[in-house]
Chain A
């Protein structure tokens, strides 16, 4: 199982913001900042972080909707940014994305069936008849009935729309599925249905997931390994159980303590949570202004993602000693 499938190396994506037409001052935003990450065949890698931390930019880079400023990603050993046209098309067949908002990601003028079979048409797979058959088969798999095939997206509820989005992603038989906040716009009872479905499909189709979410409970439920992102960087990467049972990075601890517990007996005094995620420091650790463990070195030297043990990596000078 542990075969490197996707390898992300020193990946950086910066955006240049100019402050206005007549203002020459420019600001550079590092949405993804020098990330190294591996995804193994058959695993679910959870990627968690607050809004604006670069999770979705990373997803866009992986699907080649954006080009990096530097660094590269390899898929089965080949750099995806040096693909020729043919290879890119094959890659896009192999890597599919499920979007957050099932309301805006489905074409309102198309029926469910034609949305689901469109990828087959684009990739010229099969003929008219086999395309419809394949689409109906996957619809049944995600829990949509045959009768619903000719309905339009406004006739479906949020959960059902997300099922259409999932069917559309899976109809090409991809190996890697990037799920970008697939359940965050759904109600909790519907969210559970979709999470169970994603788990089943992974097993049935032998999928590898990159599962992006801001919700630590969802990530905990579905992931094998978890990467925590903060302001464009991975600050901690570890096995699911380690992240939740012995979080190493102060930011991971802060995130975990901020999740409201469902036990009213434990109206916990939340850990002192201060500040907001903002890039303010030119030097040192990006998290220093919000960190309660800050020492001298944190203001000067930026910590690198270091190996702590076989499966754990953490970008903190004090990892292991706090």
Chain B
């Protein structure tokens, strides 16, 4: 499969009163056409900023100061604002965590979907509205003709997220960025939405970047996964590999801290393993490994120099001195 998206050494920084903060700090990522890439990490690790950087929608005080984002071979950071606007919503779409705040409360949902179709496909209003109803049917909304006339507040959380997906899918994008699409939803609705995304992906031969903090969602819905920590990718591989053989101490810690992981029988009175401490502040990053003060394997070498992301096993990349460089010494 050819590459659809290649990110090279991307740095997205924010200039704030407390100084410069690199939310995304040297991320490189390759995503093949047709695959689902999961990006997992805790809050503040930069996963949303990575997605917004791809969309070139980072907040006003932020800037992409380094790197390339190659989409079908073209660098999105070099094209004009108009060109980028034409790509957004037609070739690259994004769905957000909170469907209530991302829909406009004063327009009917049908009109909101039709707007995207009108703008990108230059169709007359009536035709666009017909396609909009068709999209609502596609995402499993019953009685779409009638629902199209509803306002967002008439719909439940799951229905709103379906509307968001219908809007994102309306121009059949090549790439869908889904930022925590199910976090605000109940588990039963989450299962339905994940199913829907995977069906639409198959049907439209779409590529998906699925951003989540939930490793269970990754295991069920993604083929590849990248783990982010404090603005960097610390491990990436195929999904089966990372769950069977997690290499980075942070990934290992994350997996162990899930209660009742994999439905394993949990000993009564047993304790969960935890990662001590909390995520470091991005304002003053110390030299060396970012996971240094939370890591039980850390030694002197780790505090001095930042480990590079290296291929340890075929297609399994880890950024940790425990492997690779150190091993060869």
Q: How far is the CA of A216 from the CA of B261 in the complex (A)?
A: 11
Instruction: List which B252-267 residues lie within 8 A (CB) of chain A.
Output: 253-255, 257-263, 266
Q: How far is the CA of A262 from the CA of B261 in the complex (A)?
A: 6
- Contact flags (1/0) for A217-252 with B, using CB distance below 8 Å? 110111000000000000000000000100000000
- Asked whether B257 lies within 8 Å of A188 as measured between CB atoms, the reply is yes
Q: How far is the CA of A216 from the CA of B263 in the complex (A)?
A: 11
Given A190-B278, A273-B191, are A260 and B257 also a contact pair (CB < 8 Å)? no
Does B57 touch A at the CB level, under 8 Å?
no
Given A220-B260, A273-B191, are A267 and B254 also a contact pair (CB < 8 Å)? no
Does A318 touch B at the CB level, under 8 Å?
no
Cβ contact of A159, chosen from B195, B253, B272, B278, cutoff 8 A: B278
Residues of B within 8 A of A157 (CB): 278-279
Q: How far is the CA of A160 from the CA of B192 in the complex (A)?
A: 34
Give the B-binding residues of A (Cβ under 8 A): 50-51, 157-160, 187-193, 195-196, 199, 214, 216-218, 220-222, 244, 254-255, 257-265, 267-268, 270, 273-274, 276-278
Cβ contact of A217, chosen from B159, B194, B258, cutoff 8 A: B258
- Contact flags (1/0) for B282-316 with A, using CB distance below 8 Å? 00000000000000000000000000000000000
Most buried by A among B254, B258, B261: B258
Q: Range of interface residues on chain B?
A: 35 or more
Residues of B within 8 A of A214 (CB): 186-187
Give the A-binding residues of B (Cβ under 8 A): 42-43, 156-159, 186-192, 194-195, 213-217, 219-221, 239-240, 243, 253-255, 257-263, 266, 271-275, 278-279
Beyond known contacts A192-B273, A260-B216, A263-B219: 11 more, CB 8 A cutoff: A188-B254, A190-B42, A214-B186, A221-B266, A258-B187, A260-B194, A261-B220, A262-B216, A264-B219, A267-B220, A270-B191
- Asked whether A187 lies within 8 Å of B42 as measured between CB atoms, the reply is yes
Given A218-B259, A262-B215, are A189 and B240 also a contact pair (CB < 8 Å)? no
Most buried by B among A50, A190, A222, A254: A190
Q: How far is the CA of A260 from the CA of B186 in the complex (A)?
A: 12
- Asked whether B220 lies within 8 Å of A264 as measured between CB atoms, the reply is yes
Given A187-B42, A260-B216, A276-B156, are A192 and B188 also a contact pair (CB < 8 Å)? no
How far does the Cβ of B203 sit from chain A's closest Cβ, in whole Å? 18
Residues of B within 8 A of A257 (CB): 191
Most buried by B among A188, A191, A214: A188
- Asked whether A50 lies within 8 Å of B186 as measured between CB atoms, the reply is yes
Residues of B within 8 A of A188 (CB): 42, 213-215, 254, 257-258
Q: How far is the CA of A258 from the CA of B194 in the complex (A)?
A: 10
How far does the Cβ of A235 sit from chain B's closest Cβ, in whole Å? 14
How far does the Cβ of A132 sit from chain B's closest Cβ, in whole Å? 27
Q: How far is the CA of A273 from the CA of B186 in the complex (A)?
A: 12
Cβ contact of B260, chosen from A193, A199, A221, A267, cutoff 8 A: A221
Q: How far is the CA of A261 from the CA of B187 in the complex (A)?
A: 12
The chain A residue sitting closest to B243, CB to CB, is A264
Residues of A within 8 A of B263 (CB): 244, 261, 263
How far does the Cβ of B112 sit from chain A's closest Cβ, in whole Å? 21
Given A214-B187, A216-B187, are A192 and B259 also a contact pair (CB < 8 Å)? yes
The chain A residue sitting closest to B189, CB to CB, is A276
How far does the Cβ of B30 sit from chain A's closest Cβ, in whole Å? 20
How far does the Cβ of A20 sit from chain B's closest Cβ, in whole Å? 14
17 cross-chain CB contacts under 8 A: A50-B187, A158-B43, A187-B213, A188-B254, A189-B275, A192-B258, A192-B274, A220-B260, A221-B266, A259-B216, A261-B220, A262-B219, A262-B258, A276-B188, A276-B189, A277-B186, A278-B156
Residues of B within 8 A of A263 (CB): 219, 243, 262-263
Most buried by A among B43, B195, B221, B253: B43
Cβ contact of A261, chosen from B42, B156, B219, cutoff 8 A: B219
The chain B residue sitting closest to A200, CB to CB, is B271
The chain B residue sitting closest to A222, CB to CB, is B259
Cβ contact of B191, chosen from A189, A221, A258, cutoff 8 A: A258
- Asked whether B259 lies within 8 Å of A221 as measured between CB atoms, the reply is yes
Cβ contact of B187, chosen from A189, A255, A276, cutoff 8 A: A255
The chain A residue sitting closest to B222, CB to CB, is A264
Q: How far is the CA of A13 from the CA of B192 in the complex (A)?
A: 31
Residues of A within 8 A of B258 (CB): 188, 192, 217, 262
The chain A residue sitting closest to B195, CB to CB, is A270
Residues of A within 8 A of B156 (CB): 276, 278
Most buried by A among B156, B261, B274: B274
- Asked whether B272 lies within 8 Å of A276 as measured between CB atoms, the reply is no
- Asked whether B213 lies within 8 Å of A260 as measured between CB atoms, the reply is no
Given A221-B260, A221-B272, A260-B219, are A276 and B213 also a contact pair (CB < 8 Å)? no
The chain A residue sitting closest to B198, CB to CB, is A267
- Asked whether B189 lies within 8 Å of A260 as measured between CB atoms, the reply is no
- Asked whether B216 lies within 8 Å of A261 as measured between CB atoms, the reply is yes
Residues of B within 8 A of A268 (CB): 220
Q: How far is the CA of A278 from the CA of B155 in the complex (A)?
A: 12
How far does the Cβ of B185 sit from chain A's closest Cβ, in whole Å? 9
The chain B residue sitting closest to A267, CB to CB, is B220
Q: How far is the CA of A157 from the CA of B239 in the complex (A)?
A: 30
The chain A residue sitting closest to B44, CB to CB, is A187
